[in-house]
């Protein structure tokens, strides 16, 4: 046995190691393989963020659908994506894609996708929102210019303030908005682009930690968008959103000469027409993430181009 072990050791001892040239070749091959695989791994990581975002939205839609089915209403205490200042309501700051200038409130992609406008509620619109179950909202107040006096104390997030839904409260609306004296249709003109043109004249509200969905245990917490978290050094608001059905009172607010419909053409050549004077029921809500995607994570903010505008 000793002879066998001794002989084995001698043979091992007699074997030479790798030469420097062999090591360089092996390292070069490994580097080449890593260079080939790394982009694919990056795509997998990016795709996983989109998959999580889709799962979050699908779950949110299921919960909202069940809520509407059981209560006949949408949840209250949603987040109102506006800024309050001493001068009144303002649209929150939007990401300028330059982190060196500081964090803005809202994602640039979301704003480009649906063109958000300030909209002052009339008494009729406020009443219709209350009938839909939205009796109170939390004003977001994320912009750095917000006066500390407007910060709330009734929210789990100290920069938010709870207000009753009533005439004069400002919200964000898709595509256009009324400031109390006139409509702003600057984003509803020929050659303007949209990601989701079917959402025009609909109010956007967020699902934050103080919403009834969380308070009533329908969801454990307000989900955050994984892709938005990657851009946390650019913008602050990262909760999912509910697009409220188009209100009859909003449609009734339109006057002769105002935009009543649009024809849009997709980049693939598909053409669609939308009648923007059709009011909707509570179950016709939809959602999108803080980056403006409804589902699949591949919505293009310039996918649809307005090719014709019809007026009342």
Tokens representing residue 68 in the block = 């509407």
Tokens representing residue 21 in the block = 């040239």
What would the mean pLDDT of 164-176 be, rounded to a whole number? 97
For 52, the 3-state DSSP assignment is helix
Tokens representing residue 105 in the block = 């409130």
Where are the alpha helices (H) located in the chain, listed in sequence order?
A: 2-14, 20-71, 108-114, 123-131, 212-215, 226-230, 248-253
Confidence of residue 180 (pLDDT cuts 50, 70, 90): very high
Q: Nearest to residue 163, comparing CAs of 172, 175, 173, 152?
A: 152
Per-residue pLDDT for 181 more than 80?
yes
CB-side exposure of 66: number of CA atoms within 13 Å? 10
Question: Model's pTM, two decimal places?
Answer: 0.82
User: Mean pLDDT, the chain, as a whole number?
Assistant: 85
Per-residue model confidence as pLDDT tens digits over 186-218: 999 999 998 889 999 999 999 998 999 999 999
pLDDT of residue 10: 54
Instruction: Write the DSSP assignment of 88-129 as a string of letters.
Output: EEEPPPB--S-GGG--BSB-HHHHHHH-EEEEEPPHHHHHHH
Per-residue model confidence as pLDDT tens digits over 59-113: 999 999 999 999 999 999 999 999 888 788 999 999 988 888 888 889 998 898 8
Confidence of residue 40 (pLDDT cuts 50, 70, 90): low
Q: Which of 146-160, 193-207, 214-228 tops mean pLDDT?
A: 193-207
The sign of the CA dihedral 289, 291, 295, 296 is negative
Let me know: does 67 contact 134? Beta carbons within 8 Å.
no
Q: Nearest to residue 172, comparing CAs of 144, 213, 142, 151?
A: 142
Q: How far apart are CA 254 and CA 237, in angstroms?
A: 31
Computed over its alpha carbons, how large is the radius of gyration of the chain? 27
Q: CA angle 66-70-71, nearest 5°? A: 115
Q: How far apart are CA 36 and CA 26, in angstroms?
A: 16
Residues 6 or more apart whose CB falls under 8 angstroms from that of 187 comprise 115, 117, 175, 176, 194
Q: Where in the chain are the domains?
A: 19-255+276-299
Tokens representing residue 32 in the block = 């080449």
Q: How far apart are CA 45 and CA 41, in angstroms?
A: 6
Q: Where do the DSSP E strands lie in 151-246? A: 161-164, 170-174, 177-178, 183-184, 193-194, 203-206, 241-243
Tokens representing residue 117 in the block = 């406008």
The sign of the CA dihedral 107, 110, 115, 116 is negative
pLDDT of residue 67: 95
Q: How far apart are CA 311 and CA 280, in angstroms?
A: 20
């Amino acid at each position: 046995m000793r002879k066998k072990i001794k002989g084995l050791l001698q043979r091992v001892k007699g074997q030479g190691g790798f030469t420097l040239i062999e090591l360089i070749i092996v390292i070069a091959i490994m580097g080449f393989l890593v260079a080939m695989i790394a982009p694919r791994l990056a795509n997998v990581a990016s795709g996983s963020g989109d998959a999580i975002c889709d799962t979050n939205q699908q779950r949110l839609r299921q919960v909202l659908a069940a809520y509407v089915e059981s209560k006949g209403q949408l949840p209250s205490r949603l987040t109102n994506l506006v800024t309050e200042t001493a001068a009144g309501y303002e649209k929150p700051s939007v990401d300028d894609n330059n982190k060196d200038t500081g964090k803005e409130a809202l994602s640039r992609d979301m704003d480009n996708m649906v063109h958000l406008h300030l909209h002052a509620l009339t008494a009729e619109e406020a009443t219709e929102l209350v009938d839909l179950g939205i009796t109170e909202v939390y004003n977001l107040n994320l912009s750095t210019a917000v006066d500390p006096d407007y910060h709330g104390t009734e929210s789990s997030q100290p920069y938010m303030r709870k207000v009753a839904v009533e005439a004069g409260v400002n919200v964000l609306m898709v595509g256009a908005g009324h400031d109390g004296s006139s409509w702003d249709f600057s984003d509803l003109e020929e050659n303007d682009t949209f990601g989701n043109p079917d959402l025009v004249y609909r109010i956007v509200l967020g699902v934050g930690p103080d919403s009834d969905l969380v308070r009533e245990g329908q969801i454990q917490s307000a989900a955050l968008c994984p892709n938005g978290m990657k851009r946390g050094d650019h913008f602050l608001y990262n909760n999912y959103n509910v697009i409220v059905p188009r209100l009859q009172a909003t449609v009734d607010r339109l006057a002769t000469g105002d935009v009543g419909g649009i024809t849009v053409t997709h980049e693939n050549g598909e053409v669609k027409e939308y009648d923007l004077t059709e009011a909707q029921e509570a179950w016709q809500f939809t959602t999108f993430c803080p980056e403006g995607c409804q589902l699949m994570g591949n919505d293009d903010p310039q996918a649809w181009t307005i090719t014709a505008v019809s007026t009342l």
